Structure 1
Amino acid sequence: MRFQRSNPAGQGFNVVRPGDPNALPIEPHHLRRAFGEIPDQFAAFVGLANGRLDGGNLDLPPEAFLLDLCLLGPAQLLRLLNRENLTAQEVWPFVATALAQQGTERPYWFMVSLVDDIGQLVAQLRRAARASNQAAFTEKVNVTVEALQAKRREQRLNLGSEISTFAIERYRLAEEARDKIPAAIARSVDTEREASEAMVVALTRVQDGGNPGQAFGSVLECEVAAARPYWARLLADASSDTDDRVMLIDIQRGEDLEGAKTAARKALRLTDIITYGPLIELE
């Protein structure tokens, strides 16, 4: 059996270590806004969402801001906000933003890992569901509440949960995608997708266990524009590590990578769940 990664204490749930020197630093050019703007915008979005919820309405932070927070990661975000943790009132708007998007849910467990009271977070999300007139949103909130309760109790999430089934299936597909890399390289020979020598080296490292994000630079440098979405999708399909989040969000924001965006969203959700979410038996 295989579970998502444990923290250094051997526990089956994740804690954030703000001083962790191994936390992935994010360069400013990957963000949609300057570092210095984030604390004020964070406070503004949180204040607006809570004020509107008190009036029985939803007014959620934009997806682009949520993705910027995801890029930062929990440790870097706490340092930027000069905080040790976040309250349920600060976290629920971003969870709701992730659940309100069409298609694949956006990442939100990294924000849950910062909350000081999961019970209060559950209560806020239930209020948000009552304020919404969207049945799909309410259903997603209910699924999330079940997973939050499992995380709070440090229990394994029910295998019948949509979150469990998604994570198990996407993790399996990620393992298969790595195994298919040699065949993909061979099929690309003498086609417009042919991998360059640098790409072959980088892709082979991924097949051998390296992070797909480390091969993304060679894909972006590919001179044939039609080849970039193909290889970007392959890397996204093979991704299951939160260190790949820069690549996955860059794919979603890339104007010439349309064919890889859905795979990137699914991979980003997977990495978020298995890194910060409830305990799930992956294999």
Structure 2
Amino acid sequence: MPKFLKNNTIVLLDGGVESYLMALYGMAMPTLRNLRKPETKQAPIVGLYGAAAELLVKACLVQAKGVEAMYKDGNIASGVYRFGSEVIEDMRRYIKNEDSCISYIWGNPDDHAEQRTKILHCLGKFKLHQELRANGLHAGLGCSRDIAIAVASDIFDFIQLLSQSKKLKPYLKNLPAPEAAIRDREVIIEDLTRRFRSAKDNAAKVNLLRGMYIVLPYIPEIKPDWVDSFDRIAVSPPTEGDLSYLAKTLTDAHSIYLLKNRGGKDGVPVRIEPHNPEALPIAIQNIKRTLSTTPDKFNNDILTANTRLDENRLDLPIDEFLVDLYALGLDSAGVLTAENRKLTAQQAWPFVAAAYSTNGTPRPCWFIISQCDEIDQLIAYMQRAAICGNGFLKRRIPELIASLQAYKNHTTVCFTTAKDTAFKDLPVSKTKIENMSGEQKKPFTPVFLRKYLPSDCVSAMIQDFVTGAKNAGNTLSALLELETLSENDRKIALTLLPLCFDGNNKNGLISVLRTKHLKNYISTARKMMFVADFIEYGPDF
């Protein structure tokens, strides 16, 4: 075979591949003696997997920068090698910046965005692998078989990505894939959560948390804060604050919501064995409870959207649920709690994308954006979503990004060149609201009521509005709930509609959408809802 790589690169690749294969053999071997802890069997195995990851990354760096890249301060004579985490971080930086020194890795130099994203994902996991490796080789501390399989899968995925390179492919051919995971990721995380709750010391809790992060199917390209937290506790004793932060981040920032087991914390992790005749026959749809509460539905939409985005597809929340959230408010809906007062970008983006992907007027979403404290990350998610989004989302993305940047920087956004009329009309609608006279806000004069004599029921509602007992939104909502309306009653409803121009009157607009009496004015109500949401929660314009 012709030689495509440097000698040192080939040696490192061979070492990485052999470490990977030895670990696979170790997993396949039966346990020949009783162990105090079953996880101990995986200690040398994860040590080998960690070594494989480090050697494969070093091979790439040595090919790019020379053999000195794997020595401390580049000093070959010292014989002191760099830490695996340092090497991985260097590789991550070169890949992220698309440095010319690693251009040989790209399968297609002109179109390698997907390969780059997936390599960054693997490198993010490899930093966690290095701590598993150290625990395994230096302290005899293993992990569960499930986590070992997840680690093996990460390394195999990395090898497959490197194999797209014409130079690397000949040295990485015909390698076996690890066995498939026996348990679903959610079940594994639920099991680890149960152990985390019962763990007594911080070191054990750190290892269990690390296992949860390794099992996660997706790590954002934007470096999350928890990476630094793991780096810190790797060199100093973990505090309760570190553990609380990492546990909270795992739950909130990664769309992994851990459902509590019915009847207590000690649930039984489940294994799916469809072809095992002795397995308990439970229909898959009955394994989880029905998602009946708003927070459950909210979290389920987040999980689905982020999973599909990782597959370069969009699966967004439905319009009706977005309107439900707007009607209730995030506090009343139970989405925001005393412990979690803000949303992450990963929680917010599916609803923003859904709002701007609709036919006609965009749906309200700034009430959600205003509760997100990661606007830069939200912008990155929206740019990513636009790539696989529909035509409505693609057309509106420039205005959305400009609005998000203005919101973050507390500046004004201009919609003069906007392609979508919903944005072009915003300044006009705002001016119209600001210039609304006192007479326009009090339309039910004696002359009006003599001309459009209301029914007795509606007359009482108008009385409440005129005296200030009810606002326009509440009055319109109550009126539209009636089974039948006379022509005069309908005229009164249409007179109330323009007065529902802010968030305090939104229930009137929602009633237009969900009742039968003003069906021809649904688009008007949608536009007013969009304007009210943007004015109240969005940037200045």
TM-score scaled to structure 1, two decimals? 0.73
Q: Give the one of 516, 521, 524 matched to 1:255.
A: 516
Is residue 98 from structure 1 mapped to residue 355 from structure 2 by the alignment?
A: yes
In structure 1, give the amino acid aligned to 2:532. T
Shift, 1:215, TM fit: 2.5
Answer whether contact 1:86 1:114 (CA < 8 A) is retained.
yes
- Residue pairs, 1:63-212, within 5 angstroms: 63-77=319-333, 78-79=335-336, 83-134=340-391, 136-158=392-414, 160=416, 162=418, 165-174=424-433, 175-176=435-436, 179-180=439-440, 182=443, 186=447, 189=450, 197-202=459-464, 204=466, 211-212=471-472
CA-based RMSD: 3.2
In structure 1, give the amino acid aligned to 2:475. A
Deviates more, 1:218-227 or 1:114-123: 218-227
In structure 1, give the amino acid aligned to 2:428. E
Shift, 1:226, TM fit: 4.1
Q: Give the one of 313, 331, 335 matched to 1:57.
A: 313
Deviates more, 1:269-278 or 1:240-249: 240-249
Find the counterpart in structure 1 of residue 534 from structure 2: 273
Aligned pair in 2 of structure 1 residues 79, 118: CA closer, same or farther (>3 Å)?
Answer: closer
Find the counterpart in structure 2 of residue 41 from structure 1: 297
**C-alpha distance in 1, partners of 2:429/2:533?**
12
Shift, 1:49, TM fit: 0.7
Residues 98-126 of structure 1 deviation map (CA, whole Å, 9 limit, x = unaligned): 11111111100001011121011111111
3-state DSSP of counterpart to 1:101: coil
Deviates more, 1:192-201 or 1:261-270: 192-201
Shift, 1:183, TM fit: 7.9
**C-alpha distance in 2, partners of 1:190/1:59?**
51
Q: Give the one of 486, 493, 497 matched to 1:236.
A: 497
Shift, 1:272, TM fit: 0.5
Answer whether contact 2:355 2:365 (CA < 8 A) is retained.
yes
Q: Give the one of 465, 476, 484 matched to 1:216.
A: 476
**C-alpha distance in 1, partners of 2:496/2:346?**
36
Tell me: higher relative CO, structure 1 or 2? Use CA pairs within 8 A at least 6 residues apart: 1
Answer whether contact 2:336 2:342 (CA < 8 A) is retained.
no
Residues 181-232 of structure 1 deviation map (CA, whole Å, 9 limit, x = unaligned): 63897467455878953354355468xxx84214225633765344455433
Unaligned segments of structure 1, at least 5 residues = 1-33
Deviates more, 1:242-251 or 1:210-219: 210-219
Pick the structure with greater CA Rg. 2
In structure 2, give the amino acid aligned to 1:212. A
Aligned pair in 2 of structure 1 residues 200, 178: CA closer, same or farther (>3 Å)?
Answer: farther
Answer whether contact 2:291 2:297 (CA < 8 A) is retained.
no
**C-alpha distance in 2, partners of 1:86/1:232?**
37
Residues 210-258 of structure 1 deviation map (CA, whole Å, 9 limit, x = unaligned): 8421422563376534445543333232222211122211221112321
**C-alpha distance in 2, partners of 1:184/1:137?**
44
**C-alpha distance in 1, partners of 2:393/2:445?**
38
Unaligned segments of structure 2, at least 5 residues = 1-289
Residues 46-101 of structure 1 deviation map (CA, whole Å, 9 limit, x = unaligned): 11111111111111101111111111214334445952211111111101111111
